[in-house]
Amino acid sequence: MAYTYSYPHPAVTVDIAIFTIRDDALQVLLIKRAQPPYRGEWALPGGFVGLEESLKHAAWRELKEETGVNAVYLEQLFTFGHPQRDPRERVISVAYFALIPSDKLQIKAASDAADVGWFSIDAIPELAFDHKKILTKALERVAAKFNYSTIAFQLMPETFTMPQLQHVYEVMTQVPIDKRNFRKRMLSLNVIEPTGEESRAGAHRPAKLYRVLDRNKVDHIK
Partner DNA sequence: GCAAAAGTGTTATCCCTACACCCATGA
Partner DNA sequence: TCATGGGTGTAGGGATAACACTTTTGC
Applying CB under 7 A, which residues contact DNA? Answer: 161-163, 178-181, 183-185, 188, 200, 202-208, 222
Q: What is the smallest separation between the CB atom of 177 and DNA, expressed in angstroms?
A: 8
Name which of 91 and 127 has its Cβ closer to a copy of itself: 91
* Residue 55 interacting with a copy of itself (CB under 8 A): yes
Q: Which of 219, 97, 216, 212 is nearest to 149 (CA)?
A: 219
Q: What is the smallest separation between the CB atom of 219 and a copy of itself, expressed in angstroms?
A: 14
Binding residues with a copy of itself: total (CB under 8 A): 28
174 binds, among DNA, a copy of itself, none (CB under 5 to 8 A by kind): none
Task: Quote the CA–CA distance of 98 and 1 in Å, as a whole number.
Answer: 34
Handedness of CA 75, 81, 87, 88 (dihedral sign): positive
Name which of 43 and 187 has its Cβ closer to DNA: 187
Please state whether 23 falls in left (phi above 0), alpha (psi between -120 and 50) or beta.
left
Residue type, 81: G
CB 66 within 8 A of CB 18: yes
Which residue ranges make up the site for a copy of itself (CB under 8 A)?
A: 1-12, 48-49, 51-55, 76, 78-79, 81-83, 90, 92, 94
